[in-house]
Chains A and B, each alone.
Chain A
Amino acid sequence: EAGVAQSPRYKIIEKRQSVAFWCNPISGHATLYWYQQILGQGPKLLIQFQNNGVVDDSQLPKDRFSAERLKGVDSTLKIQPAKLEDSAVYLCASLTSGRPNEQFFGPGTRLTVL
């Protein structure tokens, strides 16, 4: 079974630029998550999708971050404009349907904002 795919793996941009990340979850997984992991911290949820609908985006800085999952499969996360404090690893995860539900994580995209 293929895992969660993310691209790019690394991205370096200057502050105020825009950036987009892509995630392809495991086939058949309806629930998809984007987490932000700042260096030295644990991941924190940014947004959760169930199919193409948003379940939880309470921690998403909506003035600069946006995410979509138009067809309920792939998802993109965008930052516009980026700030220095957005430097982090952005992790995508998708959820199995068994018990317990397990979140499978992709390798992440490491973003550096200069």
Chain B
Amino acid sequence: GEDVEQSLFLSVREGDSSVINCTYTDSSSTYLYWYKQEPGAGLQLLTYIFSNMDMKQDQRLTVLLNKKDKHLSLRIADTQTGDSAIYFCAEKGGSSNTGKLIFGQGTTLQVKP
């Protein structure tokens, strides 16, 4: 079945790099996503990667995709206290472009000053 797994917690110091990891099971996923959720707020799309790509860089964010191992990671360079939030990895279920998102359980990122 479809399943997305993430580590639950990560603590880093301000200025360090953060790496959040995710594994997924649906090999037919065309897009994989990273969302950010701040307390009391909805989900905000941070970045996405198409399944035929290995890497995508967007300012301080780098996404790495290992399709063979079904492993996705999000690296945040120069992590700031404002990056403290819950980060969700998600895959799009099925082959439809309008299909549901299947989320991991979220990784809480704590940034210490």
Residues on A close to B: CB < 8 A?
4, 31, 33, 40-45, 48, 50, 55-56, 91, 93, 95, 99-108
Contacts and interface: CB of A to CB of B under 8 A. Distances in A.
B43 to A, nearest CB: 4
Given A91-B43, A106-B42, A107-B41, A42 B88 contact: yes
Given A42-B105, A44-B103, A95 B41 contact: no
A100 B30 CA distance: 9
A101 B90 CA distance: 13
Contacts of B30: 100
A38 to B, nearest CB: 10
B4 interface: yes
Contacts of A44: 103
A91 B98 contact: no
Interface residues of B, number: 21
Contacts of B106: 40-42
A104 B97 CA distance: 15
Nearest 9 A-B pairs (CB), nearest first? A42-B103, A105-B42, A45-B100, A105-B43, A107-B42, A100-B31, A31-B98, A42-B105, A101-B97
A4 B44 CA distance: 12
Interface in B58-113: 88, 90, 97-98, 100-101, 103-106
A100 B105 contact: no
Nearest to A47: B100
A67 to B, nearest CB: 14
A90 to B, nearest CB: 11
A100 B48 contact: yes
